[in-house]
């Protein structure tokens, strides 16, 4: 093989002299290749990238044998010399394009800024280069877009601008830190295709940092797996996925939800639980000094579906399609604008005040973000008991405590968790607490609003397994809102695809995932990165 572009030897990073985040790792990246660093959150993969560019936070301490870029040891370079390397020799793309772009500068001037730092060009030439870059990242009508502000662009376009900024210095190496995590599947596919095209055009090396093994298998030439600050396995993509060596790698691969599992679901008729007819939820658009309502945003627009007892309906769609609004307005957390929601024959949309409060026991919700869905100042025991004391006030304190212990056992948490605060738990454990809280009032239906998308792959698999077990034990139904089709295959009995506030396709999971009828569903399925073995 030829000479490596970047060679990192024995890199260690620790915080506050105690916590070692990156533990003596070594790897090389060759010119023109795509190298993927894979690991779960907290494994130290982003810190590794930042430490190569020496962009670590102040309380971090870096020690390394050498970080060689083209044979030039970056550790021996001063801060001023590193500034010339950042952006010029090594480009960087972050996960969230919105917070990486300055909201009060036009995208044109943000790209110009980078070009002006690294190349001394006349003004006209810089302008020309900006247009070239915008064309290169396939932004339509770059002449007009150049004067747009970040908020005027869509998420995918913003990430394209970020790529343009990273490319402005003509780098030899582009570091992409979870470049598509905050994007929808279809857009994710476009961005990945764009990165590939640019790599072929410029011949630069791409260092991809990701937690998504399926994505990595489609993109990378070589893969390294990181676990708790150490690289546990490195190899060519083909070997890596067909013959994983390390037990942790195998665990990761096994935890991946598979699209094939949908065929295993048994079809069996059960009594009807939830019946939604012509349900809609509009947000008014107000204008003028009198705040007149001029139009509505039709977040949910005439949706109808049914759900049987003990079954799971997955609601699939991209961000902004109204699936979360639908979930929340079913619980009356967002006022509905019309239609009917019947649960066990009771029409919820007719109820207000006290009767509505009593009916809330039937339908519960588990949110996406396990960090913001629990009051940080309440003990876990009180969080779980809250619903019991609100809806079943007749239950005595001792019985309530016993019930909390029982719920904690059911979600596989130690009983003494009740006397601890939410921040003492990991993301997966918190999601278990949220599930226990929802179960406490013995609901018939739980709306799961992307319960696994904030979690790591292996934890995600555990939570899905837990939800399945609970469904078998208690016969509870789930309305499972997600954008992840692989998870859908794993858990759902039926699927409804939402697009712009409407359900465009509905059916059993096997039918929708294997024989989609609508073009949009086909596009969604095609965009899902599938593990290539």
Partner 1 sequence: MIILWTDALIFILMAIIVVLAFYMRGQAHIKRPLQQIGSSRIGMVSLVVLLVFVLIGLLDSLHFKAGDEQKNEIISLLDYWATPLRERGEKTYSAPFATTLYSKEMMTLADGSRQWDYPRLVFGGRHLDDPETQRSADIVQKGLYGFMQGAGLVAFCMLLSWGMLAEQHKRFMRGSTAKAVWAAAFVLVSVSYALIHLSVYYHVLGTDKVGEDVFYQAVKSIRTGLVIGTLTTLIMLPMAIIFGILAGFFRGWVDDVIQYLYTTLNSIPGVLLIAASILMVQVYMANHEEAFTSVLVRADMRLLFLCLILGVTSWTGLCRLLRAETLKLREMEYVQAAHALGVKQGVILLRHILPNVMHIVLISVVLDFSSLVLAEAVLSYINIGVDPTTYSWGNMINGARLEMAREPIVWWSLSAAFVFMFALVLAANLFADVVQAAFDPRRSGNE
Site for partner 1, rule CB under 8 A: 328, 331-333, 357-358, 360-361, 363-365, 367-369, 372-379, 383, 386-387, 390-391, 419, 421-424, 434, 437, 440-441
Q: Do the beta carbons of residue 332 and residue 341 sit within 8 Å?
A: no
CA atoms within 13 Å, Cβ hemisphere of 84: 6
Q: Which is nearer to partner 1, 149 or 371 (CB)?
A: 371
Smallest separation, CB 245 to partner 1 (Å)? 36
Q: Do the beta carbons of residue 459 and residue 409 sit within 8 Å?
A: no
Q: Which is nearer to partner 1, 448 or 485 (CB)?
A: 448
Smallest separation, CB 490 to partner 1 (Å)? 24
Smallest separation, CB 367 to partner 1 (Å)? 4
Smallest separation, CB 369 to partner 1 (Å)? 6
Smallest separation, CB 481 to partner 1 (Å)? 14
* CA angle, 374 then 377 then 379, to 5°: 75
Q: How far apart are CA 90 and CA 216, in angstroms?
A: 21
For residue 2 the two structure tokens come to: 């030829």
Q: Do the beta carbons of residue 465 and residue 384 sit within 8 Å?
A: no
Q: Which is nearer to partner 1, 323 or 328 (CB)?
A: 328
Smallest separation, CB 434 to partner 1 (Å)? 8
Distances 47 to 4, 87, 172, 208, 347 between C-alpha atoms, Å = 21, 18, 20, 13, 52
Q: How far apart are CA 29 and CA 156, in angstroms?
A: 27
- Identify any residues that bridge with 365 across adjacent strands, giving them in sequence order: 447
Q: Which is nearer to partner 1, 85 or 467 (CB)?
A: 467
Q: Do the beta carbons of residue 341 and residue 273 sit within 8 Å?
A: no
Smallest separation, CB 360 to partner 1 (Å)? 4
Q: Which is nearer to partner 1, 161 or 315 (CB)?
A: 315
Smallest separation, CB 457 to partner 1 (Å)? 23
Q: How far apart are CA 324 and CA 317, in angstroms?
A: 10
Q: How far apart are CA 73 and CA 152, in angstroms?
A: 41
Q: Which is nearer to partner 1, 363 or 492 (CB)?
A: 363
Smallest separation, CB 430 to partner 1 (Å)? 11
Instruction: Tell me the CA end-to-end span of the chain in Å, nearest whole number.
Output: 24
Q: Which is nearer to partner 1, 113 or 386 (CB)?
A: 386
Smallest separation, CB 441 to partner 1 (Å)? 6
Q: How far apart are CA 262 and CA 274, in angstroms?
A: 23
Q: Which is nearer to partner 1, 163 or 363 (CB)?
A: 363
Smallest separation, CB 386 to partner 1 (Å)? 6
Q: Which is nearer to partner 1, 53 or 351 (CB)?
A: 351
Calculate helix-pair angle for 397-410, 427-439, nearest 10 degrees.
Answer: 130
For residue 340 the two structure tokens come to: 């009917």
Distances 476 to 304, 309, 369, 473 between C-alpha atoms, Å = 21, 7, 22, 8
Smallest separation, CB 18 to partner 1 (Å)? 12
Quick one: three-class SS letters along 127-161?
HHHHHHHHHHCCCCCHHHHCCCCHHHCCHHHHHHH
* CA angle, 432 then 435 then 440, to 5°: 125
Q: How far apart are CA 447 and CA 307, in angstroms?
A: 12
Neighbours of 1 (CB within 10 A): 6
Smallest separation, CB 242 to partner 1 (Å)? 41
Calculate helix-pair angle for 519-527, 185-202, nearest 10 degrees.
Answer: 50
* CA angle, 156 then 138 then 130, to 5°: 105
CA nearest 428: which of 18, 31, 40? 40
Q: Which is nearer to partner 1, 86 or 437 (CB)?
A: 437
Q: Which is nearer to partner 1, 118 or 420 (CB)?
A: 420
Q: How far apart are CA 255 and CA 160, in angstroms?
A: 31
Q: Which is nearer to partner 1, 129 or 328 (CB)?
A: 328
Q: Which is nearer to partner 1, 158 or 430 (CB)?
A: 430
Smallest separation, CB 328 to partner 1 (Å)? 7
Q: Which is nearer to partner 1, 430 or 483 (CB)?
A: 430
Q: Do the beta carbons of residue 440 and residue 403 sit within 8 Å?
A: yes
């Amino acid at each position: 093989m030829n000479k490596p572009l970047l060679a990192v030897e024995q890199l260690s990073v620790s915080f506050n002299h105690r916590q070692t985040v990156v533990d003596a790792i070594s790897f090389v990246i060759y010119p023109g290749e795509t190298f993927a660093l894979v690991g779960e959150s907290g494994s130290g993969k982003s810190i590794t990238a930042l430490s190569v560019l020496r962009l670590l936070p102040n309380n971090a301490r870096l020690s390394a044998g050498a970080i060689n870029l083209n044979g030039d040891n970056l550790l021996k370079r001063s801060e001023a010399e590193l500034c010339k390397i950042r952006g010029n020799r090594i480009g960087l793309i972050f996960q969230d394009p919105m917070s990486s772009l300055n909201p009060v500068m036009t995208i044109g001037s943000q790209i110009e800024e980078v070009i002006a730092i690294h190349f001394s060009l006349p003004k006209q030439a810089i302008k020309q280069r900006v247009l070239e870059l915008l064309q290169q990242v396939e932004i339509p009508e770059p002449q007009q877009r150049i004067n747009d502000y970040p908020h005027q662009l869509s998420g995918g376009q913003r990430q394209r601008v970020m790529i343009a900024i990273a490319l402005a210095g003509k780098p030899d190496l582009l570091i992409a830190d979870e470049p598509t995590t905050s994007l929808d599947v279809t857009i994710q596919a476009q961005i990945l295709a764009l990165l590939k095209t640019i790599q072929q055009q410029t011949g630069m090396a791409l260092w991809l940092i990701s937690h998504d093994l399926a994505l990595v298998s489609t993109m990378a030439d070589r893969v390294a797996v990181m676990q708790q600050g150490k690289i546990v396995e490195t190899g060519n993509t083909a070997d890596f996925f067909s013959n994983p060596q390390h037990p942790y790698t195998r665990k990761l691969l096994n935890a991946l939800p598979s699209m094939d599992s949908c065929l295993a679901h048994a079809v069996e008729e059960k009594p009807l639980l939830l019946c939604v007819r012509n349900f809609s939820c509009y947000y008014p658009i107000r204008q003028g000094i009198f705040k007149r309502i001029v139009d509505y945003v039709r977040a949910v627009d005439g949706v109808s579906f049914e759900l049987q007892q003990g079954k799971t309906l997955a609601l699939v769609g991209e961000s902004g399609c109204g699936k979360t609004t639908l979930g929340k307005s079913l619980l009356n957390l967002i006022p509905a604008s019309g239609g009917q929601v019947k649960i066990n024959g009771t029409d919820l949309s007719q109820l207000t005040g006290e009767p509505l409060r009593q009916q809330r026991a039937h339908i519960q919700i588990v949110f996406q973000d396990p960090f913001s869905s629990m009051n940080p100042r309440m003990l876990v025991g009180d969080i779980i008991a809250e619903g019991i004391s609100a809806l079943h006030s007749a239950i005595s304190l001792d019985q309530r405590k016993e019930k909390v212990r029982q719920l904690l056992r059911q979600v596989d948490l130690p009983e003494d968790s009740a006397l601890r605060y939410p921040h003492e738990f990991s993301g997966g454990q918190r999601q278990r607490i949220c599930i226990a809280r929802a179960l406490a009032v013995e609901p018939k239906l739980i709306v799961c609003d992307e319960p696994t998308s904030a979690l790591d792959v292996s934890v995600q698999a555990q939570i899905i397994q837990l939800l399945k077990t609970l469904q078998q034990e208690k016969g509870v139904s789930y309305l499972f809102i997600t954008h992840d089709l692989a998870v859908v295959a794993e858990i759902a009995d039926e699927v409804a695809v939402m697009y712009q506030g409407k359900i465009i396709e509905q059916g059993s999971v096997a039918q929708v995932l294997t024989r989609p009828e609508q073009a949009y569903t086909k596009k969604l399925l095609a965009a899902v990165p599938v593990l290539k073995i």
